[in-house]
Structure formats: C-alpha cells, structure tokens
C-alpha cells in the first residue's frame, strides 16, 4: 500500500473549516482550480465526498464532520513536532535522569548537585548508578543520561565529552598516624602498608605506574573497589590510601592528607553523554548543573578538552 500524502491533511483542515473551495484556496495561497484538484484527491483518499453542494454553498458530509476535530488535532500536533522546542519550564519539568559515576564522585559532588536541581526543578529526580567499567554501551542504549569519567579509547567515538576538572592523587592516613607528623619522604611512604583501589581488583594502577620509573613499589595489603572504602579502612588502621584529591574532599574530613613524595599523576575528569541528547533543553540544563557543582572553589577552570558541539 502506498503511503498517503500527509500534506493533504492541512488542505483537509482548511476545507472543512471554511466549507468553501475559494476561501480555502485563498488561505493556502492556491488557485481555485488547484484547490478543486486537491479536494478531488481528498475524496479519493477518504472514499467520501466530504463537501457536497447545497444551494450556492458546500456542506460537510457526516464523515467530514467526524473528521473535522481529529484533523485539526493532527495538524496541530504535526506543527508542534516541526517547531523548535519552547523555552524550558523547570518548575513543571518532571523527569528522572540517570547519572553513571564513581562512588567518590557521587559522594563528593552529589549533595551540591541534588540541592541545585531540587531548588530549580523540584519535580526532577536524579538516579546515581555506579560506574563499573568504561563501556559506553549504557549511554548509546539510553540507559544512562550522563556519565563522569576519564576519556579513553574504550569509549565510542560518537560520545560527547566536556572537561569538568583536573585532579591529582594525594596520600591520606588517619589522624595521629606516623605519616601525619613530619615530611613524608619516599622511604617513609614506601615503607608503609598500602591500600590499592581498583574496580577490577588489580594491584597495578596510576600510582604504581608513577613509581615504576623510580624502581619503587608499595606494599599492597588489600585491594578495594572505591575511594570511600579505602578511606574508611585508612581511617581505622595504619594503612595508607592514595586517592584523587577533589574526588574525596568531604570523605577525608578528620584525616591527614599529604602530597605524594614523587610526581603525582593527574587526571582530567570529564562529563560524557550521547549526541542524541546534545540539543535537548532539559539535558543541557542538567549538564550545566553538573559543571557548576564541580566548579573549582578557588575560581579556577579546567583546561578545556571539550568535544561538545558548539
């Protein structure tokens, strides 16, 4: 079956509203003969005469009366689809956004983000899910609206990204730990017992890679999956945790932090999303909220590594 010409819907709406070929032709800026041919096509498509002569005018058939309200709504809906989206009204926006991030990101930046979103769009909900790998499948499939993380080769080439902030690794121990007093040297750092952080249970990571050129390695006594777990263990023992500084700001309250005694690795944490949401007004607003929540408290801005379309 051939697909119907949807342009006929507009002509049908005007004809049924005016009940006049001449008036409908003027409204649509057509000649009367062209409008008559359009009416003939409509009659053929619907299998009904639609408008029939009564004296000097035309009157609608029962089928035309039945179609009048439906056609008007269809044309109105089609027009809404083809118009630019109206201004976003945050007061009535009702939507749940899923954010995929590390537990450290959610614990550190989540409270401020939730407060901001709640103040501006009270009917919006945020759902945080833990990021266990760098697979961009959830973004591509629509299971996730936003991610935070480090841009890598494992991500799909279509994924949009924008740098949020730079972070560096620091050492953290409990209050009163021997390393909380005096200068932390390489010897003191490497002689301690350490916690390794890896979602995949690996002992090697950025800290091990930074120490390798020095011919040094740590004594890893346990491997955990997240920053908060590492800091909880370090808080109640003599173990040493090496964690990103900004990711763990609130989690380190009451603990002693120190600069690592070697060139500490730096990472750039980025915001990631799928391009199909690029122009969505609500999604753009949420991206702005996340960027503001992660803004440098000292007023600095991360070096731009944006792949976001301008």
Q: Note the pLDDT of residue 2.
A: 64
Residue in the structure block whose two tokens are 């730079």: 166
Sign of CA dihedral 118, 123, 124, 129: positive
Question: Is 197 strand, coil or helix?
Answer: strand
Cβ-based neighbours of 159, under 8 Å, separated by 6 or more: 136, 139, 272, 273, 274, 275, 307
- Rounded mean pLDDT of the chain? 86
Min mean pLDDT across 45-59, 193-207, 213-227 is at 193-207
CA distance linking residue 152 with residue 27, whole number of Å:
57
> Per-residue pLDDT tens for 171-203?
999 999 999 999 999 999 999 999 998 876 565
Min mean pLDDT across 33-42, 44-53, 127-136 is at 127-136
Q: What are phi and psi of 134, to 5 degrees?
A: -100, 15
Q: Where are the alpha helices (DSSP H) in 192-275?
A: 206-211, 227-235
Q: Note the pLDDT of residue 138.
A: 86
CA distance linking residue 90 with residue 87, whole number of Å:
9
Contacts 24+ apart (CB under 8 A), 9-12: 9/71, 9/74, 9/75, 9/78, 10/75, 11/35, 11/38, 11/39, 11/42, 12/42, 12/50, 12/67, 12/71
For residue 145, pLDDT beyond 90: yes
Token pair for 149:
């993380």
Token pair for 235:
């808080």
Q: Note the pLDDT of residue 85.
A: 62
Residue count of the chain, please give it.
310
DSSP letters, 103-142, are HHHHHHHHHHHHHHHHHH-TTEEEEEEE--S---HHHHHT
Between 62-81 and 7-18, two packed helices, what is the crossing angle to 10 degrees?
A: 130
């Amino acid at each position: 079956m051939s697909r119907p010409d949807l342009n006929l819907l507009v002509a049908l709406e005007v004809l049924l509203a005016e009940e006049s070929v001449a008036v409908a032709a003027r409204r649509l800026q057509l000649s009367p003969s062209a409008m008559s041919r359009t009416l003939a096509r409509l009659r053929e498509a619907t299998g009904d005469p639609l408008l029939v002569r009564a004296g000097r005018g035309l009157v609608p058939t029962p089928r035309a009366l039945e179609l009048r309200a439906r056609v008007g709504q269809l044309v109105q809906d089609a027009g809404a689809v083809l118009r630019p989206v109206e201004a976003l009204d945050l007061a009535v926006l009702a939507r749940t956004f899923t954010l995929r991030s590390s537990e450290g990101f959610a614990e550190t930046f989540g409270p401020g983000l939730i407060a901001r979103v709640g103040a501006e769009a009270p009917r919006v909900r945020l759902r945080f899910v833990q990021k266990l790998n760098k697979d961009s499948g959830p973004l591509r499939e629509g299971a996730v609206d936003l991610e935070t993380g480090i841009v890598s080769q494992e991500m799909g080439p279509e994924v949009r990204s924008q740098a949020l902030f730079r972070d560096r690794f620091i050492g953290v121990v409990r209050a009163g730990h021997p390393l909380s007093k005096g200068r932390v040297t390489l010897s003191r750092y490497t002689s301690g017992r350490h916690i390794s952080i890896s979602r995949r249970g690996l002992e090697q990571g950025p800290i091990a890679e930074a120490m390798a050129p020095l011919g040094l390695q740590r004594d890893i006594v346990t491997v955990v999956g997240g920053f908060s777990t590492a800091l909880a263990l370090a808080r109640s023992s003599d173990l040493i945790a090496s964690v990103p500084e900004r990711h763990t700001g609130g989690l380190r309250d009451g603990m002693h932090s120190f600069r690592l005694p070697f060139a500490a690795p730096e990472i750039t944490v980025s915001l990631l999303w799928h391009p199909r949401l690029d122009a969505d007004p609500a999604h753009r607003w949420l991206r702005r909220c996340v960027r503001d929540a992660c803004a440098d408290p000292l007023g600095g801005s991360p070096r731009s590594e944006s792949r976001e379309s301008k």
